[in-house]
Amino acid sequence: MPEGDSVHRAAARLHAALAGSPLTVFDLRVPRFATADLTGRTTLDVTPRGKHLLARIEGGLTLHSHLRMDGAWHVFAPGRPWHGGPVHEIRAVLATAHATAVGYRLPVLELLRTRDEDRVVGHLGPDLLGPDWDPARAAANLLADPGRPLGEALLDQRNLAGIGNIYKAELCFLAQVTPWTPVGALPDPPTTLPRLASAAQRLLAANIGDSDRSGRRNTTGSRRPGRELFVYGRARRPCLRCGTPVREAPQDDRPTYWCPRCQTGPTPNDPAA
C-alpha cells in the first residue's frame, strides 16, 4: 500500500499537471460517476490528506481517490502513449492542454462537494506531511489504547495519517521494540511516543524528494544498494546494526519484520504477543 510520502509526490505531480488550466477531458470510468462532465472547469489544487488524494475543481467539487494496494496515477505529455496497465484498468482520465492524468486500478474514486470532504477524510489523525501535523496529538492518539500493539497502532490512520507497512517496521526498529509490543509497555510512553511520532514525520519528509525516483525509500542514511532500510524486506538477512538474521511474521495480514536482538518485546511465537 502506498505510504504518505508517495501519495504526497503523486499529489504534487497531479497538481503540476492539472491546476490552473481548464479541463479538456474529464472521464470517470466508474458506473456511479460515468456521466459526470466537468470539462471546461479549472482544477484549483490537488491536495494529499494522509493516503487520500483530493483534487478540488471549480464549482465546489472534489474528486477523491485512494490508491490502496494497486492504484496509481500517471501523468503524460500530449501525444505520448499511456502506460500503467491495460485499458480496462483505467478508472479516470483528466486532461488539460498541457498534460493528461490517467488513474489506473483506483479502488476508491468519487466526486463530492468540497464542503463534504470531512465525510471521507475527517476521521484521519494529524497528517505527517500536512499543515495539521501535531506530534503531541498523534502521541495522545496512540496512547489512547495502551494495550494495542505498536505496529497496529502506527498503521491506524485515525491515530496519525501517512504511515504504511514499511515505515511501521522501520519505526519499531528505531524504537528498539517489536511491533507486537503494547503501546503502553514502551519505556516512558509520554516521552517516547512524541519522539517516535516526530521521527516518523522526519522519515517521510526526507523521502518526498527526487531521491525516490528509483522507488526505494531510505531510512538508514546509507546510499549503498540493499542497505536503504533497517529491517523491512530483509527477512533472513543480517540486521544492519548487529548482524542477527532479521525475522518475518504476519501482523494484521501484513508481512512484518524485526531484529530479534535489537528489538525487545513480544513476538508471534510468544504467548504474550
**Any idea which residues carry the catalytic annotation?**
2-3, 51, 254
Classify the C-alpha dihedral 179-182-186-191 as positive or negative.
Answer: positive
Distance CA 168, CA 153 (A): 9
Q: How far is CA 177 from the centre of its chain?
A: 22
Which residue do the cell numbers 472547469 mark? Answer: 41
Measured CA to CA in angstroms, residue 243 lies from 31, 209, 260 at distances of 53, 30, 11
**193-198 long-range Cβ contacts below 8 angstroms, 24+ apart:** 193/138, 193/139, 193/142, 193/143, 194/135, 194/136, 194/138, 194/139, 196/139, 196/171, 197/135, 197/138, 197/139, 197/142, 197/160, 198/135
Distance CA 224, CA 217 (A): 12
